[in-house]
Structures are given as structure tokens and as C-alpha cells.
Amino acid sequence: MATNTNIDYKKEQSNYIKVLVGLLVLTAITFVQPHLFMEHSSFLAQMIIAVAKAWLIVIYYMHLKGDKLIGAMVWFTLFLVAVFFIITIAVDVTHFQFGDESYITSAEHSLAGAEVHQTSSAHE
């Protein structure tokens, strides 16, 4: 079965341009947000804008609008990421027994470690 070529070029092109304009507007908001709104929750604001941009790309540029099977697979993958990475890692991280000794988890240790390294390299 060959692929369908019966498409309305003008309409599809106009959709692509509209999505581009939407993405450009959201990119502009990305730039002004830290100085305009939610200044103290910049991370959250940036991620909300990014999700809105991602939604436009997935639905219109990646043609997922109306594609129920692949759409369901996308949600399932996100669910897998949530289960295997967030929940599993969260349990591991909250029970990390070397938290106070690790250079990564202990800010004090990381600074002290850097100083020790500096001193030792100065002696060499």
C-alpha cells in the first residue's frame, strides 16, 4: 500500500507556519519571563513554557494529532520513565547511606575535598 499523497498543500503549509509563529512567540516569552513574571519561580515557569512548545511540536510537526496508538505509546513511555527513574531513584536517593561522606551529596565535603586536592597538588 503506497502512502497517501492526497493532501491539501496550502492548508498544511499554513498550519506549519502557524505552529512556527506559536513556537517563536513561546521562545520570546522564554527570554522575557525571568524579568517579567514568576521571577522567583523561574525554573517552573521555564518548564511550563517548554512543555507548551513540546506539545506543539509533538502534535503538529510530529503528526501525532489523531494518532491514538502512538499517542498512547508516548504516554506509556513517559509513565515508564516516571516509574523506573523517578520512583526507583527517589527510593534509592532517600536511603543513600553515605550521604554525609559523598562529594556529590555533601556540599561541605565537596569544598573540603577541593581544598585537600589543592593542598596536595601544591606539595607535589
Q: What are the two backbone dihedrals, phi and then psi, of residue 120, each rounded to the nearest 5 degrees?
A: -65, -40
Closest to 113 (Cα-Cα) out of 99, 97, 96, 101 = 101
50 interacts with another protein by CB under 8 A = yes
Distance CA 62, CA 58 (A): 5
Taking CB under 8 A as the criterion, which residues in 60-99 touch another protein? 61-62, 69-70, 73-74, 77-78, 80-81, 85-86, 89, 93
Residue from the set 35, 68, 95, 123 that interacts with another protein by CB under 8 A = 35
d(CA 22, CA 53): 8
- The Cα 59–Cα 88 span in angstroms is 30
Q: List contacts with another protein (CB under 8 A).
A: 1-5, 7, 9, 12-13, 16-17, 19-20, 23-24, 27, 30-31, 33-35, 39, 42-43, 46-47, 49-50, 53-54, 57-58, 61-62, 69-70, 73-74, 77-78, 80-81, 85-86, 89, 93, 103-105, 107, 110-111, 113-115, 117-118, 120-121
